[in-house]
């Protein structure tokens, strides 16, 4: 082969052959064990493939390819997560139909990804915007609705005034819209909500049953945010109502000197008639609704609040009547929306008490025991927590920070929520046999200023008949968030064209759960949590076989620009994968992206590094010129076995960079030989094939092989040949090291003694009579003086 191998023709030739032969298709009916590696399916943006995309795709491709050769039936699929704002915004700007934009973009992505020779099973390609796909996204929503987990709630939502869209808490970063950076406002709106909080405990606790990188587990656990405490009820004097508070410190109950309700707390309306300063209260409430949560609860913030006059609560521990306040530092969306204030032991309560001149009572001593707490005096805090809670008939419980999932979007380019509103029947689900509710074709995609979806303007789509009573009714015009389609896509790959179920149960039983899911750290909290929630729900209704979707989760680092900053169009430092493939070939790009650094770490792009990878492949391509049918030396054999072991182990543990460097060491050693043994060269190609699939396939065939290198068995090493059978040990005589001696690795002590004695240099130094000999096998022999 020419020194500068012709990557273009080699790559094109093998790519079309592999595709034509359906080489990477997973078999639905296989006797083999399955292996299901998964990458996060891309959003087909107009910018085309980013140079960072191939890193995880190639990484998982190495695993897929090795596992196939280890005898697994591998499902390595890809598709398009194609609903979302960028496409919609582009449609608004250009007037182009989002469907068309999506098709063009995914065509580009497919071409680009296929040019990299990744062994995806293209026969299973899915697209979340395909009505055949989102029919099932809608179906899952209706299942959630049926089980009471999807509900319409009037919630103060995060509202982006620029995008005109309601945002989930997760989409608000530092009080700003995650997409456009505009300050987020609060707005009250009827929203579809999903009761993910009902799954909080399982989502939290079951993390201990899966193999996720520690960072991912910690982030999810923090997001779910369990907090151990108690619910305690305070009666309202002269009323049958009670105020339930959530506290993490029930041991301080005797120090609770007043109660604070969130301004939005439901009790205010209930007790309206007993409240003497209701108008003041409602003015305060209106002013807080506009505030951001982070500002309300910020430490050191000047406290505000209003006393609820006419109402007193009774401290259940000592029967004391205490005042009730409303204040915005208490959130309605956490715990019970009410707290018992203990100014002596809680900083925010203390600041509030100082500001409004409220009393404080110390109930825990410096040594951490209860004081001023009646019969509980002297108890350690933990004990007091339990006993005091029991005494007032409270309940020890765990509360979670996690909130329900705001599932409505007032936009166009999403899955329509399949619900109909009827004046007589209320909300009525669209019957399964009328799914999918397809997005209508429209002329304009702009969201409306009123905050309604653009779908609201399409009257002949909105107006429909009530599925229940047949009277005129209206469709829901909100669509789903773009987290919906990605919450279950890995299930669809098991059976992507099924029209009667989202996937056949037998196929799910065979292929799921996903064995290994690799994706970005930025998706650890949202996407991963949402899909785990949907999956658990689907498990509960008996349609998936396991309670967790992903056995294992890892993460890759991003690729930065050469100067270490983020690549961006505006800075003009974006590397186009097409250009790189054109210049050096897909194989070199693949090898480079695996070699550039530890897989889980961010790293700067380097064109020189890419060229280095190309040169390595050129040296490999030159090796056949020196090939001969010689037998490898025992040294080479040891290196061969070591290389087989290391490359295999490194692929399985995602140490792709050290796998490549071992292959470099091996090929350099072969390059130094006068004659390269055929078997050694074949082993090199066999191990390099997952990294550089085209070149290795080409060379493999040039060596006269007829079967694809990718269908050969993965090379096995001989454990007995991982190290030489000789070792060099230190020889110590009367406390001093006198030299070294090479001996058979498994020599007995008496043989070692004999060998040292017969050694021309060391032998004469060993006196004939020794007191003692100590031999540490393989390390040192010690002759201890007479």
Interface residues with ligand ANZ (CB under 6 A) are 227, 229, 246-249, 252, 262, 330-331, 334-335, 337, 339-340, 342, 345-346
Q: Name, in order, each residue with C-beta under 8 angstroms of 719's C-beta and a sequence gap of 6 or more.
A: none
The whole-angstrom separation of Cα 509 and Cα 500 is 17
Contact 663, 647 (CB under 8 A): yes
Contact 533, 203 (CB under 8 A): yes
Which partner in ligand ANZ, Zn ion, none is near 468 (CB below 5 to 8 A by kind)?
A: Zn ion
* Residue number, 200 or 262, with CB nearest to ligand ANZ: 262
CB of 471 to Zn ion, least distance (A): 5
Residue 298, both tokens: 């910020």
**Which stretch, 377-385, 414-422, 636-644, 756-764, contacts Zn ion (CB under 5 A)?**
414-422
CB of 159 to ligand ANZ, least distance (A): 22
* Residue number, 291 or 552, with CB nearest to ligand ANZ: 291
Contact 345, 249 (CB under 8 A): yes
| b/e sequence 466-478, b meaning 16+ C-beta within 10 Å | bbeeeeebbbbbb
* Residue number, 464 or 547, with CB nearest to Zn ion: 464
* Residue choice 469, 541, 748, 784 for contact with Zn ion (CB under 5 A): 469
The whole-angstrom separation of Cα 734 and Cα 746 is 25
Which partner in ligand ANZ, Zn ion, none is near 638 (CB below 5 to 8 A by kind)?
A: none
* Residue choice 466, 567, 654, 664 for contact with Zn ion (CB under 5 A): 466
Q: Is 424 in the site for Zn ion (CB under 5 A)?
A: yes
CB of 323 to ligand ANZ, least distance (A): 16
Which partner in ligand ANZ, Zn ion, none is near 56 (CB below 5 to 8 A by kind)?
A: none
Q: How many CB atoms are located within 10 Å of the residue 769 CB?
A: 7
Give residues 756-785 in contact with Zn ion (rule: CB under 5 A): none
CA of residue 82 relative to chain centroid, distance:
19
The whole-angstrom separation of Cα 103 and Cα 83 is 12
CA–CA–CA angle 658, 25, 106 (5° rounding)? 85
CB of 567 to ligand ANZ, least distance (A): 39
Q: Is 501 in the site for Zn ion (CB under 5 A)?
A: no
Which partner in Zn ion, ligand ANZ, none is near 331 (CB below 5 to 8 A by kind)?
A: ligand ANZ
Give residues 651-680 in contact with Zn ion (rule: CB under 5 A): none
Which partner in Zn ion, ligand ANZ, none is near 248 (CB below 5 to 8 A by kind)?
A: ligand ANZ
* Residue number, 470 or 628, with CB nearest to Zn ion: 470
State the number of binding residues for Zn ion (CB under 5 A): 6
Which partner in ligand ANZ, Zn ion, none is near 345 (CB below 5 to 8 A by kind)?
A: ligand ANZ
Contact 577, 617 (CB under 8 A): no
Give 372-399 as a DSSP string. Answer: SSGGGTT-BHHHHHHHHHHHTT-EEEEE
* Residue number, 134 or 258, with CB nearest to ligand ANZ: 258
The whole-angstrom separation of Cα 106 and Cα 7 is 25
Contact 25, 473 (CB under 8 A): no
* Residue choice 140, 243, 422, 584 for contact with Zn ion (CB under 5 A): 422
Characterize the bridge pairing of strands 242-247 and 226-236. Answer: antiparallel
Contact 260, 325 (CB under 8 A): yes
* Residue number, 271 or 425, with CB nearest to Zn ion: 425
Contact 493, 79 (CB under 8 A): yes
* Residue number, 182 or 227, with CB nearest to ligand ANZ: 227
Which partner in ligand ANZ, Zn ion, none is near 419 (CB below 5 to 8 A by kind)?
A: none
CB of 334 to ligand ANZ, least distance (A): 4
Which partner in Zn ion, ligand ANZ, none is near 293 (CB below 5 to 8 A by kind)?
A: none
Q: Where are the beta strands (DSSP E) in 718-771?
A: 726-733, 736-744
- Phi and psi, residue 499, nearest 5°: -100, -10
* Residue number, 317 or 342, with CB nearest to ligand ANZ: 342
Contact 762, 738 (CB under 8 A): yes
**Which stretch, 369-377, 461-469, 618-626, 750-758, contacts Zn ion (CB under 5 A)?**
461-469
Q: Is 427 in the site for Zn ion (CB under 5 A)?
A: no
Residue 142, both tokens: 């209706």
Q: Is 464 in the site for Zn ion (CB under 5 A)?
A: no
Radius of gyration of the chain, Cα coordinates, nearest whole angstrom:
34
Q: Name, in order, each residue with C-beta under 8 angstroms of 127's C-beta and a sequence gap of 6 or more.
A: 79, 80, 82, 102, 106, 133
CB of 228 to ligand ANZ, least distance (A): 8
* Residue choice 207, 425, 525, 753 for contact with Zn ion (CB under 5 A): 425
Contact 176, 183 (CB under 8 A): yes
CB of 348 to Zn ion, least distance (A): 49
Q: Rule CB under 5 A: which residues touch Zn ion?
A: 422, 424-425, 466, 468-469
């Amino acid at each position: 082969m020419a020194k500068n191998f012709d990557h273009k023709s080699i790559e094109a030739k093998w790519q079309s052959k592999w595709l034509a032969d359906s080489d990477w298709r997973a078999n639905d009916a296989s006797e083999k064990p399955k292996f299901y590696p998964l990458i996060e399916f891309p959003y087909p943006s107009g910018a085309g493939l980013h140079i960072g995309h191939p890193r995880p795709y190639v990484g998982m491709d190495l695993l897929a390819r090795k596992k196939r050769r280890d005898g697994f039936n591998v499902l390595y699929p890809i598709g398009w997560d194609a609903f979302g704002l960028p496409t919609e915004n582009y449609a608004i700007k250009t007037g182009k139909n989002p469907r068309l934009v999506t098709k063009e973009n995914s065509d580009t992505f497919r071409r680009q990804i296929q040019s990299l020779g990744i062994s995806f099973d293209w026969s299973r390609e899915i697209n979340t915007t395909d009505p055949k796909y989102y029919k099932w996204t809608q179906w899952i929503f209706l299942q959630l609705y049926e089980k009471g987990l999807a509900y319409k709630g009037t919630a103060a939502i995060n509202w982006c005034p620029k995008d005109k869209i309601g945002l989930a808490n997760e989409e608000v970063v530092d009080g700003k819209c995650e997409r456009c950076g505009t300050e987020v406002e609060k707005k009250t709106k009827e929203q579809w909500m999903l009761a993910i909080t009902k799954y909080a405990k399982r989502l939290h606790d079951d993390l201990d049953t899966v193999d996720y990188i520690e960072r991912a587990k910690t982030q999810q656990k923090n997001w779910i945010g369990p907090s151990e405490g108690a619910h305690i009820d305070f009666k309202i004097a002269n009323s049958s109502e009670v105020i339930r508070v959530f506290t993490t410190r029930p041991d301080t109950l005797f120090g609770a000197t007043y109660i604070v309700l969130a301004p939005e707390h439901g009790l205010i309306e209930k007790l309206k008639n007993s409240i003497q300063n209701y108008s003041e209260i409602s003015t305060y409430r209106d002013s807080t609704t506009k505030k951001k949560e982070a500002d309300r609860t910020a430490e050191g913030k000047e406290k505000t609040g209003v006393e609820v006059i006419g109402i007193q609560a009774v401290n259940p521990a000592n029967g004391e009547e205490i005042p009730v306040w409303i204040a915005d530092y208490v959130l309605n969306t956490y715990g019970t929306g009410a707290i018992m204030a203990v100014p002596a032991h809680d900083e925010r309560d203390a600041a509030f008490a100082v500001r409004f001149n409220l009393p404080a009572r110390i109930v825990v001593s410096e040594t951490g025991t209860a004081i001023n707490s009646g019969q509980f005096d002297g108890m350690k805090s933990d004990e007091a927590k339990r006993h005091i809670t029991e005494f007032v008939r409270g309940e020890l419980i765990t509360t979670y920070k996690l909130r329900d999932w705001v599932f409505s979007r007032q936009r166009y380019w999403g899955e329509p929520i399949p619900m109909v509103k009827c004046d007589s029947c209320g909300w009525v689900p669209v019957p399964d046999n009328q799914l999918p509710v397809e997005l209508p074709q429209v002329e304009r995609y702009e969201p409306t200023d009123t905050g309604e979806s653009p779908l609201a303007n399409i009257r002949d789509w909105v107006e429909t008949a009530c599925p229940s009573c047949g009277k005129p009714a209206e469709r829901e015009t909100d669509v789903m968030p773009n987290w919906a389609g990605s919450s279950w896509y890995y299930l669809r790959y098991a059976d992507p064209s099924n029209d009667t179920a989202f996937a056949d149960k037998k196929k799910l039983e065979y292929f799921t759960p996903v064995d290994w899911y690799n994706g970005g750290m930025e998706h650890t909290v949202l996407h991963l949590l949402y899909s785990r929630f949907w999956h658990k729900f689907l498990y509960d209704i008996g349609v998936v076989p396991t309670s967790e979707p992903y056995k294992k989760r890892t993460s890759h680092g991003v690729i930065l620009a050469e100067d270490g900053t983020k690549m961006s169009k505006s800075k003009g430092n974006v590397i186009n994968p097409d250009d790189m493939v054109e210049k050096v070939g897909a194989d070199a790009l693949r090898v480079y992206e695996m070699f550039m650094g530890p897989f889980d770490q961010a790293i700067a792009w380097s064109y020189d590094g890419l060229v280095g990878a190309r040169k390595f492949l050129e040296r490999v391509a030159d090796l056949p010129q020196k090939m001969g049918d010689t037998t490898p030396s025992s040294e080479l054999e040891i290196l061969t076995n070591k290389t087989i072991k290391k490359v295999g182990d490194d692929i399985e543990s995602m140490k792709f960079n050290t796998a490549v460097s071992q292959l470099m060491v091996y090929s350099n050693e072969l390059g130094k030989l006068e004659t390269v043994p055929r078997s050694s060269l074949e082993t090199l190609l066999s191990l390099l094939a997952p990294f550089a699939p085209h070149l290795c396939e080409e060379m493999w065939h040039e060596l006269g092989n007829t079967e694809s290198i990718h269908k050969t068995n993965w090379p096995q090493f001989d454990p007995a040949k991982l190290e030489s059978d000789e070792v060099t040990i230190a020889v110590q005589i009367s406390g001093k090291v006198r030299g070294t001696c090479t001996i058979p690795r498994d020599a007995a002590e008496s043989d070692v003694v004999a060998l040292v004695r017969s050694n021309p240099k060391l032998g004469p130094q060993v006196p004939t009579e020794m007191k003692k000999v100590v031999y540490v096998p393989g390390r040192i022999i010690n002759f201890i003086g007479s």
